[in-house]
Structure 1
Amino acid sequence: MSNMSKTAATVQKVVSTKLSHGSTVFSMIQPTGLFHLGNYFGAVRVWKQLANPSNCHSHLMFGVADLHSITLPQDPLRLNDSIETSIASLIACGLDPEHCNLFVQSRIPQHVQLNWILSCITPMGQLNRMTQFKSKAALRSEDIGSAKLGLFTYPVLQAADILIYKSTHVPVGQDQAQHLELTRDIAQLFNNTVGREYFPLPSTMLAPTQKIVSLKNPSKKMSKSDPDELSKIFFNESSKNIVHKINKAVTDSIEGPLYYSEEQRPGISNLINLIAAVTGQSIQNIEHQISDFTKAQLKDYTSSLIIDELKEPSYRYKQIKDDHALLEKIAIEGSRIASEKAQKTIDEVYSLVGLRR
């Protein structure tokens, strides 16, 4: 199969949340604090839609990627708080521990065990081609010697995260699609090495939402680290703050009907993307509805939709964010279940590579 057709066969938009019997869905999010709209629409809401009773015959594994977070410097106390905040945020956004497994990556040592096995067969050339490494390292190719090893090799840990549960589907944003292709390559390399089709090659499930970008600078994606508070909206924002931030969002000076064009009208297009994310409608349908709106009316409409969408998660977050005992209980139980699944894989992998009979 050619690279093009191979990719087409393993990448799909999330158009249905109904999973085939026995599927294993896996995804994680880094503990960087409260979720903004990009996190919510690009990942967590899709997880919520998948974690429904109709998928009770599938395994749904959603975690907090705290080991990945330390590839960049972290304040230890702040990181610890952010891990708990992430668990609370996942539950507030609709992930029911009764219908899915919520875990913390660092509590499951088997991730790291499999990471070493896979590191021993992964070519460095493939890691060097990862665009996110170059972006996060902020280095020119000639300066690669000063980059940290963890930042360079974390796609192998990411592959281990996914493969330790023999995942069949991985919902991610477009920026992670390259890493999922590497995961499939590593899985196939392992299978070839041991002479059997042990690991399934997981399919990439791309979130249907277009990338949500900064409200103040549409050339950048929405980011928690952006110092401009007006650039981002968190899922627990007050209605007043949401209206204020949307009203301050960048648009343009083009007169006449509103339309979608990321090149010509990135600010307007971002607001349309937000409407599409909330309503699930196509860009074309929304363009037809809002073509005669003024920019002020478009902002009012966008604000009202976001406020309504976030009302329930925001309320739930306030209810549980300080219940440390409950959040710890959920993390412990979810990590225990995940560890049991992961240990079965490690036992089999160790046997296949000759480390255990």
Structure 2
Amino acid sequence: MSPVSPLRFSVAPMMDWTDRHCRFFHRLLTRRAALFTEMVTAPAVIHGDRDRLLGFSPEEHPVVCQLGGSDPRQLAEAARIVEGFGYDQIDLNCGCPSDRVQSGRFGACLMAEPDLVAECVDAMRGAVSLPVSVKCRIGIDDAEPTVMLPGFVEKVAAAGVASLTIHARKAWLQGLSPKENRSVPPLDYDLVFAIKAAHPTLPIALNGGIGDLDRAEALLAPRDGVRLDGVMLGRAAYDTPALLAAVDRRIFGEAVADPDPFEVVERMEPYVAAHLAEPGAKLGQVTRHMLGLFAGRPGARTWRRILTVKSIESGAGLEVLREALDAVRRPVAERAAS
């Protein structure tokens, strides 16, 4: 394993989405992108089912565990447990705006407590040898981002944070849903570049509003002499995972062929079979992450329909995945024969 910071390209942590099945699937599309877990709270790590919460496949590396919490001692203990599971990096969530997160005093509301965040970072760094990073917003509520963000970054940088991922939108903690918080507040990329200019040695990645690799490449290019260290994609990478197939070539400059989506599905079969052998396992727990793989291709709608409808049926197995794949292969074969 090698440290993944700075994060040149990563797939964002997304609750209920970036679980271990999703990450294994994404890893078949890109070897180099950093993959984040869903956020898991420090108390859950300490007191909960650790294998269920933290278990992952060795193929997922480089993989980052995102923790939620605000108690330095709890976070330090959780960080030690996470390190024991073999993760490459630990990230502290200071960006999620949901009510549930706020009630636990973590997520975006922590941007109002930079001294506490710095204390948390320092405690985790003292407990593990892994890099400790932070994901945050540019600000919250009525606070002025050009004041809040620089002050926040100064504190966490002084605490020795390994890298920052900045979601370039303000988070409104009251009055907007988490979904609205992904699109309603305006993006401010200029502020993120300004922060990088002020902290040239601190690895900084940008998140928010990046819908494709063209946009990602543009944001990785120098702007007035300032170059960001990375970009993070969320929904775009999840909804259209095929874009990940070009990441190693376009973002990391590797002289490799993009993975073929048909071969990716075939390579998923042993993983799916192993999952289905576990007690209580269901096909849909894996295939729900694969729905967008053929977006824009002939047969994509049938692929989605078969997986959506048949994967949740009792006893659904690999035959459903193969049927859905044949539905996409058929138009390709017909076009080649014409």
State whether TM-score is above 0.5: no
User: RCO greater where, 1 or 2, for CA within 8 Å and sep 6 or more?
Assistant: 1
| TM-score with structure 1 setting the length | 0.31
Name the one with the larger helix percent.
1
